[in-house]
Structure formats: C-alpha cells, structure tokens
A = this chain, B = another copy of it.
Amino acid sequence: MLSFWQDYPEIQNKLIAVQELMAERLKINNQEIESALQKMTSRGGKMVRPALFFLFAGLNSDESDPKMQERLLKIAASLEMLHSATLIHDDIIDDSPLRRGMPSVEAQFGKDVAVYTGDFVYTIFFELLIETMVSTPFLTKNAKSMKKILQGELTQMQSAFDATISVHKYLKAISGKTAELLSLSCLEGAYFSGADKSVQHSAGKIGRAIGLAFQVYDDILNFSVGLDEENKPILTDVRLGIFTLPLLIARENEPATIMPFLEHPEKLTREQCLDLAKLVEEAGGIAGALLFANSLTDKALEEIEKLPAGRSRDILSEATQLLLQRKY
C-alpha cells in the first residue's frame, strides 16, 4: 500500500525507513508475538500518519542535518506505533463482545496474544517518545492524545446499538478515534522541524479536518462496499451496532423508515441490508454525509494554501486530494 506514495519518492523512501525502524524495534523473544507484529508492519497500509508528519516537517526541516533527520524518523515511527497499538486492541473489542466481526490478524493469533502485543507496542511507542521528546511539551501532549483516542473508542463502544445516538456524539467519537492522531501527526511535523507557531497551529487544524473527512468518507464507503458481490459481508458497521453519519442523517430525515432496522441490526439479513443501503441513499444520508466530508476537505485544502510555498506544500495538497478522493 506504500505504492500510494509512488509519485512522491521522497515520502515513500522515508516511509520505508519507518517500516524498517519499526521492524527493528518490534523484536521480542516470543515467536508468536513477533510473527503477529511482522505481519502487521509489513501489511503497513498507506502509513498516513507518518506521511503527513513528514510532509509538514518538509515545509521547514533541514535535510542535510542527519541528527534532525534521525529524530524525525523516530517520531514518525512513534505515530505509526501508537496507531498500530490501538488497532490491535480495537480488534479484540470488535471480535470479543459481538463475535460477528470480519476475521482480523488478531483473530488468527488469539486474544491473549493480541492483548500483550498491543501492550508491547505501547511500550515501544513510549520508548521512542523518551528518546526524542524529553525536553519538549510533547510527552504530555502524547499522553493527552492517547487519552482522547481511548475516550473516542469508549464513546463508540458505549454507544453501540444505541438507535438514538446523536450526530454530536458520533462526531465526538470519530474526533478522538481518527482526527486526534492525524492532528498530532501534522502538529508534530511542524513543531519538530522548527516551524513557527502559526504554521504549527494550522498544522493541527489541517490534520483534524483531514482526519474527520477521512473517517466520514470511510463510513460512507461502508454503505456501498460489497453490495454487488454475492459473498462479501456488507454494512458491517451497522451490523456491529455502529451507526455512522449517513445512517444518522437518513434517520433524521426519515425516522419511520430507518428506525425499524436499528432495533436488532445484528440480525439483519443480506436482503434487509441491501434494502437499508438503498433507503439510506434515498433519504439523503449519503449525499448529506458527502456534503459534510467535502466541506471538511475544502477547509483543509484552503488552510494548506496558506502554508509556506514549496514542494512539500504541493505534495500535501495533492496527497490530501488523493487521500480523500473516494469512489462514489
């Protein structure tokens, strides 16, 4: 998935270096855990968090200073470590109480391995912070972000299967769950490359907007993915009791139509899910959520335009559009 960055070799190369550093740090004297971790780091994904970090750092950082570059590499890895640790523990939650989640890496290795693997990754995250941030306010900021991420997950867990969940509560949950860490990634990129206060401030705002938009687009996607393929699970969020923006907007617009589906979402058949997907679209849920996500994207792009001009800003603008451009 690093091929996402193939047109930006300067970013792609840094992300490969992050993967290498992670693989090196995630060595542990337990074969089962180590293979779980290897699988996780090589799977990798787009590595959006370290990528945004490097793009903001690139606005200002001195490429010829190897000490600064090493520090930036470690901080980028810390962001991906924190993300990985939360993912590993999330998968336990998604599988355990509901037992209807799709198969995850964690499901293969068992919950016991997943608990300790997540804890171990938190420890490595903590070590990377200690190595890079001791004289800065960012140790405290990272702890606060961890708390917010956790509270976002908790809000979502607490609200699962609540058919009356408000849009406000949904936004609070995704704000912690996704936007917090993307905001931190951008802010740290600006701060640790020595950008001035106003750029730091913009960085945090841009990261938050990208994070919210990213999650809303993802939630919209969950209402279309797999609909045409007979054997693919569909509307997986709804069936886990997770009611996202398209559904909430549709519910506001057409309560009588939508509410009956939310009583026992875990029991919905494929046919019922197909009906619900159609009704959510007809009730304006998809269009409304898209409008919201698009306005966040525009806000992020506008803020990016105010950043110092140069190659990093150009990539940032292109990558944001690429990242937030989904197929609808």
For chain A residues 95-135, which have a beta carbon within 8 Å of chain B? 96-97, 110-112, 115-116, 118-120, 122-123, 126-127, 130, 134
**Segment of A16-24, A51-59, A151-159, A320-328 engaged in the interface with chain B:** A151-159
Expressed in whole angstroms, the Cα–Cα distance for A158 and B117 within the complex equals 13
Query: Do B157 and A116 touch (CB < 8 A)?
Result: yes
A119 / chain B contacts, CB cutoff of 8 Å = 89, 118, 122, 146, 150
Interface flag for A263 (CB, 8 Å): no
Interface flag for A33 (CB, 8 Å): yes
> Chain B nearest CB: distance from A161 CB in Å?
13
Expressed in whole angstroms, the Cα–Cα distance for A147 and B26 within the complex equals 11
Expressed in whole angstroms, the Cα–Cα distance for A61 and B260 within the complex equals 66
Interface flag for A198 (CB, 8 Å): no
Partner of A30, one of B110, B118, B122, B151: B151
Query: Do A33 and B154 touch (CB < 8 A)?
Result: yes
Given contacts A28-B154, A151-B30, contact A110 B122 (CB under 8 A): no
A139 / chain B contacts, CB cutoff of 8 Å = 130, 134
A122 / chain B contacts, CB cutoff of 8 Å = 119, 122
In the complex, the chain B residue whose C-beta lies closest to that of A89 is B115
A247 / chain B contacts, CB cutoff of 8 Å = none
Partner of A111, one of B111, B123, B134: B111
Work out how many copies of this chain go into the complex: 2
Expressed in whole angstroms, the Cα–Cα distance for A158 and B21 within the complex equals 26
Query: Do B140 and A130 touch (CB < 8 A)?
Result: yes
Interface flag for A290 (CB, 8 Å): no
Query: Do B154 and A116 touch (CB < 8 A)?
Result: yes
Expressed in whole angstroms, the Cα–Cα distance for A115 and B119 within the complex equals 10
> Chain B nearest CB: distance from A301 CB in Å?
33
Interface flag for A143 (CB, 8 Å): yes
> Chain B nearest CB: distance from A100 CB in Å?
14
Expressed in whole angstroms, the Cα–Cα distance for A126 and B120 within the complex equals 14
A155-172 interface code vs B (CB 8 A; 1 in, 0 out)? 101100000000000000
Expressed in whole angstroms, the Cα–Cα distance for A29 and B147 within the complex equals 11
Interface flag for A302 (CB, 8 Å): no
Query: Do B126 and A143 touch (CB < 8 A)?
Result: yes
Expressed in whole angstroms, the Cα–Cα distance for A134 and B93 within the complex equals 34
Can you sample 21 A-B contacts with CB below 8 Å? A28-B154, A29-B151, A29-B155, A30-B154, A89-B115, A89-B119, A93-B111, A93-B115, A96-B110, A96-B111, A97-B110, A97-B111, A97-B112, A115-B115, A116-B154, A120-B147, A120-B150, A123-B147, A123-B150, A126-B143, A126-B146
The 5 closest A-B pairs by CB, nearest first: A93-B112, A30-B154, A130-B139, A96-B111, A127-B143
